[in-house]
Chain A
Amino acid sequence: MLKTFTRGGVHPPQNKITSDCRIEDLPLPVNVAIPVAMHLGVPSKPVVDKGAEIKVGQLIAKGDGFVSANIHSPFSGKVVKIDKSIDISGYKRDAVFITVEGDNWLDTIDRSPVLKREFNHSPEELIKIMGDAGIVGMGGATFPSHVKLTVPKGKTVNTLVINGAECEPYLTSDHVLMLEKGEEILTGAAILMKALRVEKAVVGIENNKTDAIKHLQSLLTNFKGISIQPLKAKYPQGGEKQLIKAILKREVPSGGLPADVGAVVFNVGTAFAVYEAVQKNKPLIDRVVTVTGKSLKKPSNFRVRIGTPVSNILEAAGGLPEDTGKIVSGGPMMGKAVADTSVPVVKGSSGILVITQKEARRRKIEPCIRCGKCASVCPLGLEPYLLMPLAQKSIYDRLEKERVMDCMECGSCTYTCPSARPLLDFIRLGKSEVGKIIRSRKK
Chain B
Amino acid sequence: MANLITVSPSPHIHSGLSVNKLMFGVIIALVPAFIVSVLLYGVGAIVVTLISVASCVLFEFLIQKFILKTEVRITDGSAMVTGVLLAFNLPSNLPWWIIIIGAMVSIGIAKMTFGGLGNNPFNPALVGRVFLLISFPAQMTTFPVPSGISTPYISQVDGFTGPTPLAMLKEGIKQGVPVADLMKDAPSHMDLFLGNMGGSMGEIAGAALLLGLIFMLIRKIITWHIPVSIILTIVLFTGLLYLINPEKNADPLFHLLTGGILLGAIFMATDYVTSPMAPAGMIIFGVGIGLLIIIIRVYGAYPEGVSFAILIMNGFVPLINRYIKPKRFGEEIKNG
Contacts and interface: CB of A to CB of B under 8 A. Distances in A.
B315 interface: no
Interface of B: 1-3, 5-15, 17-19, 21-22, 73, 76, 78, 116-119, 223, 272-273, 276-279, 321, 325-336
A360 B12 CA distance: 7
B278 A372 contact: yes
B272 A260 contact: no
Contacts of A420: 14, 18
Contact of A411 (B11, B22, B329, B332): B11
A277 B329 CA distance: 36
B336 A367 contact: no
Contacts of B223: 376
Contacts of B1: 320, 324, 341
A-B pairs with lowest CB-CB distance, top 8 = A411-B11, A372-B277, A381-B328, A367-B118, A380-B329, A371-B272, A418-B17, A337-B7
B329 A406 contact: yes
Given A322-B2, A415-B11, 14 more contacts: A90-B7, A252-B330, A254-B331, A260-B333, A324-B1, A333-B10, A363-B18, A367-B117, A368-B118, A370-B118, A371-B272, A382-B328, A383-B326, A417-B17
A51 interface: no
Interface stretch (A40-48, A124-132, A213-221, A243-251): A243-251
A332 B116 CA distance: 33
B278 A369 contact: no
B22 A415 contact: no
Given A260-B333, A366-B73, A418-B17, A403 B328 contact: yes
Interface in A219-278: 241, 245, 248-254, 256, 260-262
A110 interface: no
A338 B7 contact: yes
A361 B6 contact: yes
A261 B333 CA distance: 8
B329 A424 contact: no
Nearest to A335: B10
Given A241-B329, A420-B14, A324 B336 contact: no
B13 A333 contact: yes
A198 to B, nearest CB: 15
A325 interface: yes
Given A370-B273, A385-B277, A241 B330 contact: yes
A415 B15 contact: yes
Given A253-B333, A337-B6, A367-B119, A414 B11 contact: yes
Contacts of B335: 250, 261-262
Contact of A251 (B13, B118, B333): B333
A324 B9 contact: no
A16 interface: no
A366 B12 contact: no
A328 B13 CA distance: 11
Contacts of B22: 369, 371, 418
A373 B14 CA distance: 13
Nearest to A262: B335
B177 to A, nearest CB: 46
Contacts of A320: 1
B112 to A, nearest CB: 12
Contact of B329 (A254, A370, A412, A418): A254
Contact of A424 (B10, B276, B321): B10
B17 A369 contact: no
A251 B326 contact: no
15 contacts: A324-B3, A325-B5, A339-B5, A353-B12, A366-B19, A371-B22, A375-B277, A375-B278, A381-B328, A385-B277, A418-B21, A419-B19, A420-B14, A420-B18, A424-B11
A336 to B, nearest CB: 7
B272 A362 contact: no
Nearest to B282: A372
Contact of A12 (B13, B19, B117, B328): B13
A245 B332 CA distance: 13
Contacts of A325: 3, 5-6
A361 to B, nearest CB: 7
B7 A326 contact: yes
A254 B330 contact: yes
A383 B325 contact: yes
Contacts, number: 174
Contacts of A245: 329
B25 to A, nearest CB: 11
A320 B19 CA distance: 34
A367 to B, nearest CB: 4
Interface string A168-188: 010000000000000000000
Contacts of B8: 326, 337, 362
Given A338-B7, A369-B117, A383-B277, A416 B17 contact: yes
Contacts of B7: 90, 326, 337-339
A379 B14 CA distance: 17
A412 to B, nearest CB: 8
Interface string A350-363: 00010101011111
Contacts of A337: 5-10, 12
A338 B1 CA distance: 14
Contact of B326 (A241, A335, A375): A375
Query: Could you say which of A245, A248, A418 has the most chain B C-beta atoms within 10 Å of its C-beta?
Result: A418
A50 to B, nearest CB: 32
Contact of A253 (B12, B18, B278, B330): B330
Contacts of B276: 372
A248 to B, nearest CB: 7
A379 B286 CA distance: 25
Given A248-B336, A326-B5, A7 B327 contact: yes
Contacts of A7: 327, 329
A409 interface: yes
Contact of B334 (A90, A249, A373, A424): A249
A353 B330 CA distance: 33
A370 B17 CA distance: 14
A189 to B, nearest CB: 22
B11 A334 contact: yes
Contact of B10 (A10, A336, A366, A372): A336
A428 interface: yes
A416 B12 contact: no
A375 to B, nearest CB: 5
Contacts of A353: 12
A419 B326 CA distance: 21
Nearest to B9: A425
Contacts of A327: 5
Given A254-B329, A370-B273, A355 B12 contact: yes
Contacts of B76: 366
A390 to B, nearest CB: 13
B11 A381 contact: no
A173 B219 CA distance: 34
